[in-house]
Amino acid sequence: MLRYKVKLKFFSPLYVGTRNQELNAPDIIIHSDTIFSAIVNMYSLIYGLKETQEFINAIKENDVFNCSSAFPFVGDKFFLPKPIGFKFGFTEPKKEKKIKFVDIDIVTKKRQASLKEVEDDEKIDKEKLVLFERPRVSLDRISLASNIYYAGGVKMHEEVGYWFFMDLSPEFEERVKTTIKVLGDEGIGGERTYGYGQFVPEFIEDNQQYSGNSFVLLSVFKPAESEIESLETKRYKIIKRGGYVYSPYSEILTNLRHPIYNVFAEGSVFEKPVKGELTLSFSSSVHPVYRNYRAYLLPCDV
């Protein structure tokens, strides 16, 4: 398997919805299920339904593709959500608790960092990855009465973007890379009709060997029934995931709501490797609809 760090340099705002679907409260993580669905949808448009089903079957049977959620990067610094329970050893625990993202080198290479350095990283992140709101007006179709509402998004400085891990079999390398490049033109996330979510990808091979006594979750994860009893968690956080179906091949499937599941969130820590599953949301005569809740794990000492 090849492993890449995929950098997404956005040249338009990004909107990723949250569970409560409020347009003015975007998420600041692009979750792995969203990335997977976007790639599979685009893959089907380029290569067709038959080839896409073969790709899905290869993932289920031979694990030929997996990805993490996407987190911010600034220049050459790749950030991760702080592993739950991760201790820097600072003397000011209240400030330490507030830190959400941390440089990957600090976690995986046990690099020493000062509180000021970590806080400065967070400050850079907030200054160059800015949440914003824009007013919009909707008109009632009958009375033409106007209604103002606000839609939000994330704007990024040119040094800032998002990145994610991608494991890939050489058999599908060129096809998946092409798919992500085309996806950059179409956009990812919501509000794409307004031009949101467009990016240029960069694929950086990552040959580093990661090791440690724990496994940090970098994706959303729902255990398969067969692994529930043997699940060993250290520390974890649960979030709800659902969302809407989009199918370029079926109006009936489009806008259906995925079943809502409680899943483990990024930053959770496990004693042993976990796997998760591709969950079948809907089965139709046109094509099945899957949601990706497989785990992407990073070994490290936590």
Determine the pLDDT at residue 219.
Answer: 96
> Regarding predicted confidence, which is higher, 5 or 26?
5
CB neighbours of 91 closer than 8 A, spacing ≥ 6? none
Query: Which element (helix H / strand E) includes 4?
Result: strand 2-10
CA 262, CA 256: separation in Å to the nearest integer? 19
pLDDT tens readout for residues 218-230? 999 999 988 888 8
Give me the pLDDT at residue 111, please: 64
Average pLDDT over residues 170-189: 95
Counted residue by residue, the chain has a size of: 302
pLDDT for 127 equals 65
Give the whole-angstrom CA distance, residue 3 versus residue 247: 29
Residue 234 three-state SS: strand
Q: What is the pTM of this model?
A: 0.87
Sign (positive or negative) of CA dihedral 69, 72, 76, 79: negative
Q: Which residues contact 231 (CB under 8 A, 6 or more apart)?
A: 223, 270, 274
Cβ-in-10-Å burial (0-12, 13-18, 19+) of 10 comes to buried
Closest CA to 213 of 122, 54, 86, 125: 86
Torsion over CA of 238, 63, 299 and 84, rounded to 10 degrees? -10
pLDDT digits (tens, 9 = 90+) for 133-177: 778 888 888 888 888 887 778 888 888 899 999 999 999 999 999
Contact 265, 222 (CB under 8 A): no
> For residue 217, how many other CB atoms are within 10 A of its CB?
29
Conformational region of residue 89, where left means phi above 0, alpha means psi within -120 to 50, and beta covers everything else: left
Asked if residues 72 and 125 have their Cβ atoms less than 8 Å apart, the reply is yes
| DSSP code per residue over 108-155 | HS-----HHHHHHHHHHHHHHEEEEEEEEEEE-TTT--EEEEEEEEEE
**Cα angle for residues 269, 275, 276 (degrees, 5° grid):** 100
DSSP 276: -
pLDDT (tens digit per residue) in 271-285 = 999 999 999 988 888
